[in-house]
Chain A
Amino acid sequence: MGRIHIYLASLLASWMQPGFAASVDERDMKAALIYNFAVYTSWPNNADKAFNICMFEADQESLNEAMLERKVLNGKSVHVRNIHDIEDVKACQVLFMEDATTKDEKHLLQQLQKYSVLFVHNGQKQTDASMIHIELVDKRYHFSINHQAAKDANLTLSSKLLRLATRVY
């Protein structure tokens, strides 16, 4: 679909809620990205009352959690949860992981597919388990989508999202 130019700072401040406006940095940008990915994704079993965005403890500081906590998605309030173990993934709708965090990828993949968790990965290195991979290029975050992985996890990504991805595979 083409490249994505994501403007930082002022742009984010404009189209995100006023909460984002205060400090615009990578944490905010990532929080906004994750929220937007959630907006354009459909989950198969949507019985949970809360919408949980999970991170491993190692990635705790990489997102502006407070910003996300204020959000509501499809009538559900967004919660940011820190998990310790791959098994905890089952309560999550979105898993965000930084490049540095190392885990049993295979197991993780299984869990993700099992519980239909959207896995957003940031970093240079790509993982087979990640469904959306974000990468900072020239102060802008680009993202690519592993559509097959998402489908394997029974997640439906909006075509609009697919269209905006730098690469879909």
Chain B
Amino acid sequence: MLKPYFSKLVIRDKLLVMQLAVLAVAMLIVFAVTVTYQYLSYQRELMQDLHAQMTLIEDNVGSAIAFEDAKAAAETLQSLSINRSIDQAYIVLNNQTQFAGYYADKHRYLTSKEVKAISARKDGVHFNRPIMVNGQQLATLYLDANFDKVNARIQVFAFALFFAVTFAIFLARAASKRLNRILTEPILYLESLVTNVTKFHNYKQRSNIQSADEIGALSEGINSMLDNIKMRDDKLVEELKHRIVVEQKLDQLAYFDSQTKLPNRHAFTAYLNKATGEDHAHFYLLMLDLDFFKVVNDTHGHEAGDQLLTQCGQRLRRVLNAEDAVFRIGGDEFAIVLKAVTTIHDVEKICHRIIHSISQKFMIHGQEIHIGTSIGIAQCANNNCTESNLIKHADVAMYWAKSAGKNTYKFYSEEIEKANYHHQKLTTDLQTALKHNQFELYYQPIINVQTSAIEGFEALLRWHHPKEGMISPNVFIPIAENTGAITTIGAWVIQQAITQIKQWQSQFNPSLFMNINISARQFFDKRVVDIVRDALHQAQVDPNTIHIELTESILMEDVDKAVGILKQLRELGAGISIDDFGTGHSSMSYLKQFPVDTIKIDKSFVRGLPTDNVDTAIVEAIFALAKSLRFDVVAEGVETQQQLACLKQKKCSKVQGYLFSEPVPAAKIEAYLARASKLSYQ
């Protein structure tokens, strides 16, 4: 029961408890032995006293008996009163009569029965002794004593001894406490030392206990243990320092680009990962690609390229704030994370600074080098940006910047990307559209104003996209021009249109003509003349019934070359029409150089007829010009009777427009022509 309590005690108290327990047991034994011994001593003493007194009585009382002096005998017996243990003593003569007696309780007379009762007491002592005089027994002395006095004495003794023992235990407790402190103080000291060391990891502390006993040995042991720990700790710290240095070096290697001393792609990924993971992350990612770096590398060597990169890195670092991060993430690619700016305007200012800084001349090996940079910018906001998306977007924007003519910057936007994607998709699809017969030529009739008869057609290309349906030429022609697909598509258009008109000429009217549009790129392709020639030849068609339509701006791109090509086409016998006349920037002086047959008034002027004075004036001027230069005139985009009447009044010979027919498939034209010829025959 006491074990848990005892186990909770500190050593000093445990020691004290044990010492006191042992002392108490020892004292108890001593107490018991002493009291017992003392009791026996008291008893023996009593016995001896009784014997001595009896001997004295026996000695003295003999004469009294001899002389029958009972009083003297009684007086002698009375001397026993000094011994209070004696209850009674009496002398019985040989004839069994009592001669004299002494009774401790002298105040009352004892009956013989009471006397006998005392003699029979079990807890007392009873003696009898013959009284001899001159060798003869005269009487017997009886003596009865009790141990009450002995008991009382032993009680007092025990009581005193108990107090002495208790006092001794108290003294021992006080002494033990002091002694235990001497013994336990070093233990406590060591304990607090060890606790301190454990708590504060201060391994410099040492125990200063120096004694030859076990505690001294323990203290020495702890000290040497601490020495060892300290040594190991120091070693560990040293090793840790070394490791940190090594790690820093490795980090430097792993996270820094040795050429530019900028953080590398690895660091960039980690940085971006962290930045995107932050709450309320809002920053801009700039992806930079050096323009013409490859050229520098190729012409000035790799060493120059490396130096250029280093200097670029320095310039970038200079134009940015301290909190903006720059990384070299690839050959000539850099990434910048702008955290300090908040508005797009600020970003634009920084982009301007960067572009300006990079486009300044670099001096490498005494040579001036000029490069530029294209920057794509992606914004991380509203916590919905991921590292990979951000990089992809910035990359996309960078390619836009590059496509937009380099040395510029572009912000990524989802709408633009979607549009671009669509553009890209169309570009891809366009490559195979011809093969998959997705192109079709539509034809818009050109009407003789006077007769209202169909005189010819303008062939217009249509693309039936398998998914998106009909796609406008305004959308896919520029794509085809950019990709170069226009050459083959254009060739197909020429062949198709010529073949078609040949068929209609032979079927309906040999004087029907076909206007075929040629784009700029196709026009300046040297094969265009051959293609037209081959088509004409193949179809065996009258070249005069084929008109090549060109816009003013095409002709103005390279006037000399255009004149040459036009002349070759004219030599083939084909006519030349200038499309959308009035909208371009044609010079009147150049106009007379071009071998042109027809000009087509743009529908934007026709639309204002007859009410808009400016349009009317322009149209009139064009008619005047055409008349003086002997050009035929076709008015495009005629949609109302008023427009037609107006044009008729101004002696316009041909028109085309929705008033008569929109561009329609060949079958519709055929049906119409068949019907018309049927009517004419009737």
Contacts and interface: CB of A to CB of B under 8 A. Distances in A.
A14 B72 contact: no
Interface string B63-106: 11111111110010000000000000000011101000000000
A163 B134 contact: no
Given A5-B71, A39-B133, A15 B63 contact: no
A126 B139 CA distance: 34
Interface residues of A, number: 25
B76 to A, nearest CB: 9
B71 A39 contact: no
B175 to A, nearest CB: 60
B138 A15 contact: yes
Given A3-B71, A14-B97, A17-B136, A164 B63 contact: yes
The 4 closest A-B pairs by CB, nearest first: A160-B63, A14-B95, A36-B66, A39-B134
Given A39-B134, A73-B134, A15 B93 contact: yes
Contacts of A160: 60, 62-64
Contacts of A161: 63
A58 interface: no
B70 A5 contact: yes
Interface residues on B, range: 20 to 34
A164 B136 contact: no
Contacts of A2: 71-72, 75
Nearest to B67: A164
A12 interface: yes
A85 to B, nearest CB: 31
A159 B318 CA distance: 146
B65 A164 contact: no
A161 B65 CA distance: 11
A40 B69 CA distance: 15
Nearest to B62: A160
Nearest to A75: B135
A4 B63 CA distance: 12
A3 B74 CA distance: 13
Contacts, number: 58
A161 B95 CA distance: 24
A15 B71 contact: no
Contacts of B72: 1-2, 4, 163-164
A6 interface: yes
A106 to B, nearest CB: 31
A12 B134 contact: no
Interface in B108-146: 133-136, 138-139
A143 B97 CA distance: 25
Contacts of A74: 134
Given A158-B63, A161-B63, A11 B68 contact: yes
Nearest to B134: A39
Given A1-B72, A15-B93, A163 B139 contact: no
Interface in A14-37: 14-15, 17, 33, 36
Contacts of A4: 67-69, 72
Contact of A164 (B64, B94, B135): B64
Nearest to B139: A15
B137 to A, nearest CB: 10
A13 B135 CA distance: 18
A55 B602 CA distance: 213
A9 to B, nearest CB: 11
Interface in B446-488: none
Among A11, A14, A17, A33, the most chain B Cβ lie within 10 Å of the Cβ of A14
Given A12-B68, A15-B65, A40-B66, 11 more contacts: A1-B72, A3-B71, A4-B68, A6-B68, A15-B66, A73-B134, A74-B134, A158-B63, A160-B62, A164-B64, A164-B69
Contacts of B69: 4-6, 164
Interface string A71-112: 011100000000000000000000000000000000000000
A14 B134 CA distance: 16
Nearest to B95: A14
B94 A6 contact: no
A34 to B, nearest CB: 12
A7 B94 CA distance: 16
Contacts of B63: 36, 40, 158, 160-161, 163-164
Most buried by B among A12, A33, A36: A36
